[in-house]
Structure 1
Amino acid sequence: MRHAQAMTWRAIEQLAQQIRPGMLESEARELGKHVLAELDMQRIWHPLLVRFGANTLKTFKQRSDGDPVLTEDDIFFIDMGAVWQGHEGDAGATFTTGSDPKMAACASAAKELFDRVQLRWKTEKVMGLELYRYAEEQARDMGWVLNLSIKGHRVSDYPHAIHRGGDLGDFAHYPNEGLWILEIQIAHPSKPYGAFYEDLLA
């Protein structure tokens, strides 16, 4: 599982370095597929998502609005789920172009909020339900709005559908290390963009 996760992060970093202003969201997605193929992933287990601008507010199941072009001062996130050595990797992060300080703060806040929630999981041994209650409270204190329809999930040996253990945010037990994905999606309180970060609780 850790190998699959490490490879997913490697793919995200490689793709993020190649995404440039002027690129269409669909072009970035296609580029991501090439990056994954070059890293010899076995298969994609969930659709590769790349969201630009206002589409960063969309949840996983929502379609992007149109096919936006990434601008010089913009925000985007990547969400990858691929299989390596029979195990599911799943990771996501937000990046910015240009120098808009509010967008940069939003991208950083998603990772900071993830870190805060993961630390509570490690130190307090709380159940999944409590993790997302705490995440909502912390997001509010930080000045952001947490999307509570995104609640994390179990990862496992492929295929995910057979081994699915439900959503982390609905899990009424302490989530074990190395098996659960903590997902954080936040929105700017007044501007049309947000940020996303997810990783394995480990």
Structure 2
Amino acid sequence: MQLVGPNFDPDALARADRAAAQCVAEIAAAIQPGMTQERGTKIARDILKSAGAKRHWHQPIIRFGAETLKTFREPTDSQTQLADGDLFYIDIGPVFEGHEADRGDTFQVGTALEQAHLIEAARATWKTVSDAWRMLRLTGRDLYALVDETAAQSGYLQHSRVLGHRIGDWPHGKYARGALANATVVPEAGLWILEIHLICTASGRGAFIEAPLA
């Protein structure tokens, strides 16, 4: 589950991650109320292309409002518009220098406290679990048990289909597959993406964040 290809370079992987994180920030800054998800996705593709991403191991995903309940695998309405005061999430998987990145985060375009709490809970859950990985050297399976526990303590639910995954030199799937939540090994730094997708049943919204364990 932790194999890499012959061209793997940890420094290149780290550079790819930094570039992806910068792209997420730029995409978030460009998204405005009234846009459709289709328009937001076009903006994401343009920004990633300008940053030097010549391919993607998964295409950029933008979710607005109630569509934030859905994962990247679920069908979505591309004409959904971002309402003033609502939230949105970004999920990108570009390839830079032959190495994969995967970054995602959730943002809001208003000041609704309920949405702010949901986003903060998702980010805090990610930090709590990543800190536990770093300090306790937990397996992937134990990390996702902690995800569920931490999410419940915040009053939200972790999406049952969001389980974390591998990255590496492109394409990582040629060398390693499997969900982080099923891994019985301690994840190696940089190679595994910790995904959090909290669901708020009261508001019908979700908050997504992902980044590599490092």
- Normalised by the size of structure 2, how large is the TM-score? 0.92
- Alignment-derived partner of residue 146 in structure 1: 158
**Cα distance in structure 1, aligned partners of 2:55 and 2:213:** 23
Of 162, 167, 170, 2:179 maps to 167
Contact conserved, 1:143 with 1:189, CA < 8 A, in 2? no
Quote the offset at 1:189 in angstroms: 3.1
Quote the offset at 1:106 in angstroms: 0.9
Quote the offset at 1:66 in angstroms: 5.1
- Alignment-derived partner of residue 34 in structure 1: 46
- The residue type paired with residue 68 of structure 1 is T
Of 132, 135, 158, 2:170 maps to 158
State the superposition RMSD in angstroms: 1.0
Of 133, 147, 152, 1:121 maps to 133
The residue matched to 2:79 in structure 1 has which SS? coil
Quote the offset at 1:59 in angstroms: 1.3
- Normalised by the size of structure 1, how large is the TM-score? 0.97
Of 178, 186, 195, 2:207 maps to 195
Contact conserved, 1:156 with 1:163, CA < 8 A, in 2? no
The residue matched to 1:106 in structure 2 has which SS? helix
The residue matched to 1:46 in structure 2 has which SS? strand
**Cα distance in structure 2, aligned partners of 1:191 and 1:112:** 19
Segments of 4+ moved more than 6 angstroms: none
Extract unaligned runs of 5+ from structure 2: 1-12
Of 102, 106, 109, 1:97 maps to 109
Quote the offset at 1:64 in angstroms: 1.1
**Cα distance in structure 2, aligned partners of 1:14 and 1:6:** 13
**Cα distance in structure 2, aligned partners of 1:26 and 1:111:** 26
Q: What whole-Å deviation, never above 9, does each CA across 1:9-40 have from its counterpart, x for those lacking one?
A: 11110010000001111000001110011111
**Cα distance in structure 1, aligned partners of 2:111 and 2:131:** 30
Of 39, 53, 64, 2:65 maps to 53
Q: What whole-Å deviation, never above 9, does each CA across 1:36-57 have from its counterpart, x for those lacking one?
A: 1111112111011000001111
Of 166, 171, 176, 2:188 maps to 176
